[in-house]
A and B are shown apart, each in its own frame.
Chain A
Amino acid sequence: MSLTSAPPTIASPPPGSRRSGIRRRSTRPRFAPYLFSAPAVLLYILFTLVPVVYTVWISFRAYRLQGSGIGGRRVDVFAGFDNYATVFSDSEMIAGFLRLLVYGLIAVPLTLGLALLFALLLDVPAARAKRFSRTAIFIPYAVPGIIAALMWGFMYLPSTSPFSYITRALGFGTIPFLESPGLFGSLANIAIWGGVGFNMIIIYTSLRSIPVELYESARLDGATETQMAFLIKIPLTRPALILTGVFSLIGALQLYAEPTTLKPLTSQITQTWAPLMTIYRDAFITDNLPAAAASSTVLALGTLAVSAVVLWLSSSRRKAGARS
C-alpha cells in the first residue's frame, strides 16, 4: 500500500537532494528483513514443513491389492482414517506406550534429580576439583548413544557382566538385567548415564548466573548451604529446570536407540517394544509406510501435547506461587 501511495511525494524533490537519500534508507529496511530471514525460512519450509505435510498425506494412503492372488499388485490408494484407526486399536502399540510410560517414570525424574543434585554440589563453595568433576560427569554425554547402549549391553549379559560376576562370586547368582522387570531399569540407566551430564551443565550455568549478593545476604541472615539451595538456588533455576524437564520428556518419548541396540541380546525386547520401534518396523520391514506415517503423526502430536501441558502446568504454578 505504501509503495503505491509513496512515489508521488518522494518523486517530487529533484534528484541528488537529501530527500532521495531518505528514500533509499526507507525502502531498504523493508526488503532487508525478508532477505536476511529468507535462507532460514526456505530451509524451514523445505526440510520441516514439506516433510511434515508429506508425512500427513502418506498417512491417509495405503497400498492395497488390485487383482487377485499372485497376479494381483499392490497399488497406492486413498485410505481415509484407516491407518489412524489401526494405530489406536493396535494392542501392541498401546502396550508400547505403556512401556514407554514406565520407562519415562524411571528415567526422567532420576535424570533431572541427579543433574540438579550434581549441579548444586558443584556450586557449593567448599567443593574441590570442580572443573574435573564437571568434565567427568559430562563425558558420558559425549559417548554416542549406540556405543553407550552396546557397552552397557555387554555389562548386562550374564556371562560378560562384571556386576553379575561379583554377585555370582558372592553366591547371590546372576543379576537379571535383561529379564522382564529389571529391563526397564537397565534401559533407563543407559539414558540416565548419558543424560545427567548435559542437564547438569544447563542447571549449573543457570546457578552461576544468580547474583552473589543474594548469597551474601543469606549468609548474613545465618542461612545454611542446604537452606540456600532450597530457598534461593532451586527457585531461581526454575526456568532451567523446566527447560531440561521438557527436553528429557521429549527424549524419553523418542526412546529408540537403547532398546534397538539391546534387542539382539534378549528376547524380552520385541520389535514393537517402544512406539518408535514399531514405526521403524512398519516403514522398513513390513513395507507399510502409510501406517508408519500415521503412528509418527500421532506420536508427534502426543509429544506436542505433553510438552504443552508441562509448560502450562509449570507457568500456572508459577503464577499461583507469585500470587500467594
Chain B
Amino acid sequence: MRFRTLGTLGVSVILGTALLSGCSSSGGDTGKVTLEFWSWAPNTQKVVDAWNKANPDITVKYTDAGGGDDSSSKLLTASRAGNAPDLALVEYTTLPAMIVADVPADITSYTSDIKDAFTEGTWAQTTFDGAVYGIPQDVGPMSITYRQDIFQKFGIAVPKTWDDFKTAAEAVRTADPQAVIASIPPAEFGTFAGIAAQAGSKWWDVKDGKWTVGIADEKSLEVADYFQGLADAGLISTDPLLTPEYDKALNDGTMLSWPSALWAPGVLQSVTPDTAGSWAMAPLPQWTAGDTAVSYQGGSAVIVTKNSKHAEAAADFAKWYNASEEGVKMVLGTQNLYPAATAGQDLAKEQAPPALMPQQTDFYTQAAEISSNTTPVTWGPNVNLAKSVLTDALSKAITDKTPWRDAFIATQKAVIDDMTKNGFTVTNK
C-alpha cells in the first residue's frame, strides 16, 4: 500500500515536470523563444545582453562551457543525450568531428544572405561538400610576433621567407648564445598544420564523400625536415610554450619571437606585460619569396545544433552576432577577438594596436592585409587524434634523435587507420 502511494506520487511528479517543461518549451506558440548558448569567449555575456535587450521575443541564455577542448567533449556528450544547447561555439578544428557525430544542423538555407560577409577562405572553414554548418566568429590568420628592439639591436631583418628565418635564427645565436629566435615544440600541432598548409599541403580533403589525408605528403615532409634542421643545429628550442621556463625566457629577452597567429599579442601581453612596447607583428615568413598566402591557426564558429527546436531563431542570433555590424563591433571591441567578418576587420583598422605593441600603429591594417590572403583549410573528423599522435611521435623523435618526417608518416598512418576503422572512405590508404 505504502509503495503504491509512493509510486503514484513518483508518476505524478514526473508527469508534473513533463507538463511544466512542456509549457516552457511550447512557448514558441506565443512567439517567445528561449535559446541556450554555450561558449567560452571572453565577455560573451555582454554580447548576449545586448541581443536580449533588442529582441524580447528571442531570449538567449549563455553558459560558459569552458575552453575549446572541454566544451567540445561536453557538447558531444550532451548531444548524444539529446539535451545539447541550441547554439554553441566550436573550434574550426573540431567542427568536422562534430558534424559526423551529428551535432550541428545544416544551416545552408538560413545563411545564403551572409556568405559575402566573409572571405572565401573563412567561409570554407564551416562549409563541407556545399553544406554550411556554422557561422565563423573569429579567425587566426598566421603571423609572427617578434622582439623588435632586440632584432634591431642585433641588426637582424624581419624574416620574409623561411630561409630568412633560418638566417635570422643563426644571427640570434651568434649575437647572444643564450637566446633563441623561437620555440616550436611537438605540442604545437596548429603551427605545423598551418605552416604545412601554407606550403600547399592539404592535411584533410573531402570530395564526393571520399577523404584524402595529406599529413605526410611531400610538402609536409619538407616542412618537417626544415624544422628538424633548425632544431638539430640548435637554432630553435623545442621546449613547451607558456611554461614558467618559457615565460622567464620571454621576460629575459632570450625568446625572441612566436610564429603563430594574430591572437599571439594578447597571450604574450598576459605573461610578459613588462616587455610591452618592445614587440611587433609581421606576416608569417613565406616558403617562396614574394608569396603572400598564409593559413589559419585557431578560430571558432557558432553552430546551431540538431537538438534545437528553434533552428531559425538560433540562426538569426548567430547571424546578428557574427555578420551584422552591431555584432562584429562587439566581437572586436568587447570580446577583443579578431572578427571573422570582413566588416569587422575593416572596423579594426580604426582600433588602437594591441597593448603589447602600442608603437605599431598600422597593426590592424596589416592584419586585414594578412587576413585577405588566407588560404582555405579543411580539417578532418579526427583532428584531435592527429594532434595527439603527432605530438607524441615528435616528442619521441626529438628524444631518440630519429627523423621528424617519420613522426608525420606515423601520424598519417594512425589518422588513416582510425578513419578507415570508423567507416570513412579514404582514397590514399
Q: Are A69 and B388 in contact (CB under 8 A)?
A: no
Query: Which of A65, A160, A287 neighbours the largest number of chain B CB atoms within 10 Å of its CB?
Result: A287
A24 within 8 A of B: no
**Bound CA span A264–B391, Å:** 12
Q: How far is the CB of A72 from chain B (nearest CB, A)?
A: 6
**How would residues 188 to 225 of chain B score, 1 for a CB under 8 Å from any chain A CB and 0 otherwise?**
00000000000000000011111100000000000000
Contacts of A271 in B (CB 8 A): 388, 391-392
B128 within 8 A of A: yes
B114 within 8 A of A: no
Query: Which of B128, B207, B211, B244 neighbours the largest number of chain A CB atoms within 10 Å of its CB?
Result: B244
**How would residues 156 to 185 of chain A score, 1 for a CB under 8 Å from any chain B CB and 0 otherwise?**
011110000000000000000000100000
Q: Are B240 and A267 in contact (CB under 8 A)?
A: yes
Which of A154, A283, A286 is close to B244, meaning CB atoms less than 8 Å apart? A154
Nearest B-chain residue to A288, judged by Cβ: B385
B131 within 8 A of A: yes
Q: Are B96 and A69 in contact (CB under 8 A)?
A: no
Which residues of B from 393 to 426 have beta carbons under 8 Å from A?
394-396, 398-399, 422-425
Which residues of B from 85 to 144 have beta carbons under 8 Å from A?
96-97, 99-102, 128-129, 131
A219 within 8 A of B: no
**Bound CA span A297–B172, Å:** 52
Contacts of B240 in A (CB 8 A): 264-267
Q: Are B129 and A68 in contact (CB under 8 A)?
A: no
A268 within 8 A of B: yes
Q: Are B73 and A287 in contact (CB under 8 A)?
A: yes
Q: Are A73 and B100 in contact (CB under 8 A)?
A: yes
A129 within 8 A of B: no
Q: How far is the CB of B342 from chain A (nearest CB, A)?
A: 26
Query: Which of A64, A68, A70, A74 neighbours the largest number of chain B CB atoms within 10 Å of its CB?
Result: A70
**How would residues 367 to 405 of chain B score, 1 for a CB under 8 Å from any chain A CB and 0 otherwise?**
000000000000000101100100110111011000000
Q: Are A70 and B128 in contact (CB under 8 A)?
A: yes
Summed over the interface, the residue pairs from A and B with CB atoms below 8 Å come to a total of 107
**Bound CA span A281–B387, Å:** 11
Q: A71-B129, A72-B209, A157-B243 are in contact. Are A65 and B392 (CB under 8 A)?
A: no
Q: How far is the CB of A282 from chain B (nearest CB, A)?
A: 9
Q: A265-B243, A286-B382 are in contact. Are A69 and B131 (CB under 8 A)?
A: no
**How would residues 233 to 274 of chain A score, 1 for a CB under 8 Å from any chain B CB and 0 otherwise?**
000000000000000000000000000000011111011100
Q: Are A73 and B398 in contact (CB under 8 A)?
A: no
For chain A, the bracket of interface size reads 20 to 34
Q: Are B185 and A70 in contact (CB under 8 A)?
A: no
Contacts of B394 in A (CB 8 A): 267
Q: A69-B208, A284-B73 are in contact. Are A267 and B100 (CB under 8 A)?
A: no
Q: How far is the CB of A281 from chain B (nearest CB, A)?
A: 6
Q: A180-B399, A265-B240, A286-B388 are in contact. Are A69 and B69 (CB under 8 A)?
A: no
19 more CB-based (< 8 A) A-B contacts, given A70-B206, A264-B242, A271-B388: A65-B422, A68-B424, A69-B206, A69-B210, A73-B100, A74-B100, A157-B243, A159-B244, A159-B249, A160-B248, A264-B240, A267-B240, A267-B394, A267-B398, A270-B392, A271-B392, A272-B388, A286-B385, A286-B388
- Residue positions of A touching B, CB distance < 8 A: 63-74, 92, 154, 157-160, 180, 264-268, 270-272, 281, 283-287
- List 7 A-B residue pairs with CB atoms under 8 Å apart, sorted by A's residue number: A68-B425, A69-B211, A69-B424, A72-B423, A74-B422, A160-B248, A285-B388
- Residue positions of B touching A, CB distance < 8 A: 69, 73, 76, 96-97, 99-102, 128-129, 131, 185-187, 206-211, 238-240, 242-245, 248-249, 382, 384-385, 388, 391-392, 394-396, 398-399, 422-425
Instruction: Please name the 7 residue pairs, one residue from A and one from B, whose CB atoms are nearest each other, closest first.
Output: A69-B209, A65-B423, A68-B209, A270-B392, A70-B128, A267-B395, A286-B385
